[in-house]
Amino acid sequence: MPHIEIKCYPGRSEEQKTLCAEKVALAAAEALGCKLSSVSVAIKEVEQADWKAQVWDKQIAADDACLYKKPEYTCK
């Protein structure tokens, strides 16, 4: 607890993804009051052409009520 999944376009280096995961895990542990050792972070790359079908439609639009930070873009 908790597990965080990040989806992004391909193109970031392993160093960038590792740094992102470390910072997100630290922020989550602090904000949620849990041990850093309890946090896991996955980063999955999604091609730009697949973003609407795989991410926007299935996870962002479908889970609108659960989003605590909503994107400032639309995917129509």
More confident residue, 1 or 55: 55
**Among this protein's residues, is 2 annotated catalytic?**
yes
> Which stretches of the chain are DSSP H helices?
14-32, 51
List 1, 2, 6, 72, catalytic entry: 2
CATH 3.30.429.10 maps onto the chain at 3-45
CATH of domain 3-45: 3.30.429.10
- CA distances in angstroms from 13 to 16, 53, 55, listed in the order given: 5, 25, 21
pLDDT tens for 10-63 read 999 999 999 999 999 999 999 999 999 999 999 999 999 999 999 999 999 999
The answer to whether the CB of 21 falls within 8 A of the CB of 41 is: yes
39, exposed or middle or buried, with CB in 10 Å at 0-12, 13-18, 19+? buried
pLDDT tens for 21-34 read 999 999 999 999 99
pLDDT at 40: 98
pLDDT at 52: 97
pLDDT at 76: 80
